Chains A and B, each alone.
Chain A
Amino acid sequence: MTTGQSRADGVAWAAGVCAGLAAAGVTHVVYVPDNPLSHVLSELEKYPRIRTTLATREEEAFGIAAGLYLGGVQPAVMLQSSGLGNSLNALTSLVLPYQVPMLILISMRGDAGEWNSAQVPMGKAVAPILDAMGIPHTTVSSAEATAATVELMARTAFETRLSGACLLPRRLTAPSVQAQAHA
Chain B
Amino acid sequence: MTRLDATRLLVRSLGEDAKTPVIASLGHPAYDLFAAGDRPANFYTWGSMGLASSMGLGLAMARPDLRVVILDGDGSLLMNLGSLATIGWTRPKNLVLIVWDNQSYATTGGQDTATAHGADLAAAAAAMGIQQSVTVRTPADFEAAVARTTAMAGPWVIVAKVEESPPASKPPLDCVLIKHRFMAAIM
- Residues of A that sit less than 8 Å from B by CB: 28, 30, 51, 53-57, 59-60, 62-73, 75, 89-90, 92-94, 97-100
Kindly list chain B residues whose C-beta atoms are within 8 Å of the C-beta of A28.
61-62
- Residues of B that sit less than 8 Å from A by CB: 21, 23, 43, 45-63, 66, 80, 82-83, 85-86, 89-90, 175-176, 178-179, 182-183, 186-187
Identify which of B21, B58, B179 contacts A63 (C-beta below 8 A): B58
- Whether B54 contacts A64 by the Cβ 8 Å rule is yes
CA distance A66 to B21 in the complex (A): 14
Identify which of A53, A70, A97 contacts B55 (C-beta below 8 A): A70
Identify which of A54, A59, A67 contacts B58 (C-beta below 8 A): A67
Kindly list chain A residues whose C-beta atoms are within 8 Å of the C-beta of B83.
56, 60, 63
- Whether A70 contacts B58 by the Cβ 8 Å rule is yes
Identify which of A57, A59, A63, A97 contacts B46 (C-beta below 8 A): A97
Identify which of B80, B175, B182 contacts A70 (C-beta below 8 A): B182
Kindly list chain B residues whose C-beta atoms are within 8 Å of the C-beta of A89.
47-49
Which residue of chain A has the shortest Cβ distance to B55 in the bound complex?
A67
Tell me, rounded to whole Å, the shortest Cβ–Cβ distance linking A163 to chain B.
Answer: 14
- Whether B48 contacts A72 by the Cβ 8 Å rule is no
Given contacts A72-B63, A99-B176, contact A90 B82 (CB under 8 A): no
User: Which 3 A-B pairs rank lowest in CB-CB distance, beginning with the nearest?
Assistant: A93-B47, A67-B58, A71-B62
Given contacts A70-B59, A97-B46, A99-B179, contact A56 B86 (CB under 8 A): yes
- Whether B90 contacts A53 by the Cβ 8 Å rule is yes
Kindly list chain B residues whose C-beta atoms are within 8 Å of the C-beta of A73.
58, 62
- Whether A51 contacts B85 by the Cβ 8 Å rule is no
- Whether A68 contacts B82 by the Cβ 8 Å rule is no
- Whether B50 contacts A97 by the Cβ 8 Å rule is no
- Whether A55 contacts B82 by the Cβ 8 Å rule is yes
Which residue of chain B has the shortest Cβ distance to A72 in the bound complex?
B62
Given contacts A93-B47, A98-B176, A99-B179, contact A56 B58 (CB under 8 A): no
CA distance A59 to B79 in the complex (A): 11
CA distance A55 to B58 in the complex (A): 11
- Whether A71 contacts B58 by the Cβ 8 Å rule is yes
Given contacts A59-B80, A70-B55, contact A53 B47 (CB under 8 A): no
Most chain A CB within 10 A, of B49, B57, B62, is at B62
Tell me, rounded to whole Å, the shortest Cβ–Cβ distance linking B88 to chain A.
Answer: 11
Identify which of A60, A69, A92, A97 contacts B54 (C-beta below 8 A): A60
Kindly list chain B residues whose C-beta atoms are within 8 Å of the C-beta of A64.
54-55, 57-58, 61, 86
